Amino acid sequence: MDKSNIKARIEQLRNLLHHHNYQYYVLAQPQITDFEYDILLNDLITLEKNNPEFNDPNSPTQRVGSDINKEFTQVIHKYPMLSLGNTYSIEEIIDFDTRVRKALPDDTIEYVCELKYDGVAIGLTYKNGFLVQAVTRGDGTQGDDVTNNVKTIKSIPLKLSGNNYPSEFEIRGEIFLPHSSFEKMNAEKEAAGEPLFANPRNAAAGTLKQQKSSIVANRPLDCFLYFVLGNNLPYNSHYENLMAAKTWGFKIPYYITKCNNIDEISDFITIWDKKRNELPFDIDGVVIKVNSYLQQEELGFTAKSPRWAISYKFKAEQARTKLLSIDYQVGRTGAVTPVANLEPVLLAGTTVKRASLHNSDQIKLLEIHENDFVFVEKGGEIIPKIVGVDQKTRDINTMPIEFITHCPECGSKLERNEGEAKHYCPNVYSCPPQIKGRIEHFVSRKAMNIGGAEATIEALFEKGLIHNSADLYYLTKEQILLVDRFAEKSATNLIESIEESKKVPFQRVLFGLGIRFVGETVAKTLANHFKSIENIKNASIEQLTSVQEIGDRIAISIIEYFKDDKNLEILERLKNAGIQLEVAQFENNNLFNKLNGKTFVISGTFENHSREELKDLIEKYGGKNTGSISKNTNFLLAGENIGPSKLEKVQELKIPIITEDDFLNMIKD
């Protein structure tokens, strides 16, 4: 057979195998026997082995995996993989619906209800019809590249069907293990005398992180896809794009429906709460999404989750076990959290040995005594907590649990602020877990992003090399080499990462300082308004509370932070080290106040910028974004496909309508 015929036969076999994979693993409608499939696959393996010039990374033969052991590389998500807000009652779903309708008062709202699969989130990128990358959720900003492992999952297409898909897009879903596959894997491990997997989710997660894709190939992972992202998608709605993706060869779940009101959403939740135990895989709730992409963009995001989607979590499973003891953990803010040590018990597929007791009020409310038998529940089916006590089995001689009066780490007498449930250790600058916690927060990815530092704060602290965040910038390579596990290269990498963090913008530095109640969103608001740490330090409580989203509690916390001489000393050392303690000069000149005092509403789709990019530009130039039109709106920034009701309202209020080009001219230098 000449080379042209060999190439044609290879292509024919690849197309046949792609087709039969889809029929078997996605449609569950096999057209040939396993034996016939194996003959085709073996023919292709032989032809590719003997003709390596025709190799293709998306060939069906790649599903057998490789024995090469390699570390995963980190990939930044093009679209952040945010988590969803959780609810546990229909009343909270009603509140969600009310918020959506308030933000979109003139629109008809259509929701999509889906099952919440208990697996491992994955983002798959396709270019020109071929799978090119698979990335885990990670921290939502970046995740692990597990492409080679994902290629072994037969329900995930390596090559798409048809030709009506976008040239490039991402589709997200959940990788999971069906119950039957999980039971088979555990039976094999038991026969081999190996430790069993705790539950299907852990087994799926552990499998996906295997360094050898050949191991992954031998484990029967499956995948449901539930969200399409990208430009030039065929539809402007979530459900319709999923139905299109089904025709491209993706395994889109059957368990999905459109709903127009709360009654229909409630019916969907009720049905699947009753039927969830009949499913061949694990779910832990229902996800509700606004269907329209335009409405999703208008609703936008909080710092952690989209405003257009929410999850309803089914009531958690409970278990009864014995309380052995209580530990008290001290966090970076000094808050003391009691944690119960329990006799190990199986709960929702995992063995639970520890559970949160939250605070002293919770201990009193539950009337917990020493050695009680307690009821444990998984809050949101993730974090175990004690929810009750079996008083019938209590030993009459046991004593009630008394919350500690002094810090378990440094011995300081605990304090409790009026109106708060938590006890605090006041020894801010000498209590080890508080010091380490603040530094760990400072170096974290969403703050200064000092790579490799989070894992070594403990060692650096124990060596006496750091006592606060500023100390990091005065470390030498010679000092770091004194710490266990550090060699020349790792020490150099840490020094370089610390140096690189000096470029981190002011808003992230402000978040990294760990001022109480100043999270990511508040830090961004303060940075945009005050422009520098000096201005924030010198602001009065009235000036602080005049800023949108800054209330008395946050303002008082900021005032108290800058009263502390040790905080001021740390800030001075950070300044001397070259940390960005003000908005960069090019953002802080008069040009960037061009939209000061102007309020915009953005509606429609735009040619050159996404709505999020336009919102960022408005904020950058001193303007303000709002979601709905009112008499306080200065401009409607209008793209294509804006609703007629919005046009009618702006005309009624005589609000100017501007195009994308008009807006860009407004901010032009």
pLDDT digits (tens, 9 = 90+) for 299-311: 988 777 899 999 9
What domains are defined for the chain?
Answer: 3-64 (1.10.287.610), 86-304 (3.30.470.30), 432-503 (1.10.150.20), 506-588 (1.10.150.20), 590-666 (3.40.50.10190)
Name the region of 70 (left: φ>0; alpha: ψ -120 to 50; beta: rest): beta
> What is the structure's pLDDT at 29?
67
CB 312 within 8 Å of CB 285: yes
Given a cut of 50, whether residue 32 has pLDDT beyond it is yes
pLDDT at 140 over 50: yes
- Host H or E run for residue 63: none
Angle made by CA atoms 457, 459, 464, in degrees to the nearest 5: 95
Take residue 665 and report the two structure tokens written for it.
């001219």
Cα 99 from Cα 600, distance rounded (Å): 20
Percent of the chain whose predicted confidence (pLDDT) is above 90 = 50
Rounded Cα gap, residues 232 and 168, in angstroms: 9
Token output for 426: 């006041």
* pLDDT tens digits, one per residue of 582-607: 987 645 554 567 888 889 988 888 87
- Residue 111 has a pLDDT of 97
Find tokens 């490039």 and name the residue: 168
Look at residue 537 in the predicted model and tell me its pLDDT: 96
Mean pLDDT of the region 161-170: 92
H/E stretch holding 394: none
DSSP 22: I
Q: What is the DSSP letter of 120?
A: E
Q: 3-state DSSP call for residue 137?
A: coil
What pLDDT score does 173 carry? 96
* E-state strands within 106-167: 111-117, 120-127, 130-136, 142-144
Residue holding tokens 């605990």? Answer: 414
In order of 143, 518, 576, the CA distances from 573 in angstroms are 33, 21, 5
Chain centre to alpha carbon of residue 33: 41
What confidence score (pLDDT) does residue 46 get?
A: 80
What pLDDT is attached to residue 69?
A: 41
Does residue 392 have an active-site annotation? no
CB atoms within 10 A of CB 325: 11
Contact 265, 259 (CB under 8 A): yes
Q: How do residues 82-115 score in pLDDT, each as one tens digit?
A: 888 888 889 999 999 999 999 998 789 999 999 9
Is 357's pLDDT higher than 80?
yes
- On whether the CB atoms of residues 336 and 328 are closer than 8 A, the answer is yes
User: Which is the catalytic residue, given 3, 7, 78, 116?
Assistant: 116
> Which of 573, 383, 586, 602 minimizes the C-alpha distance to 469?
573
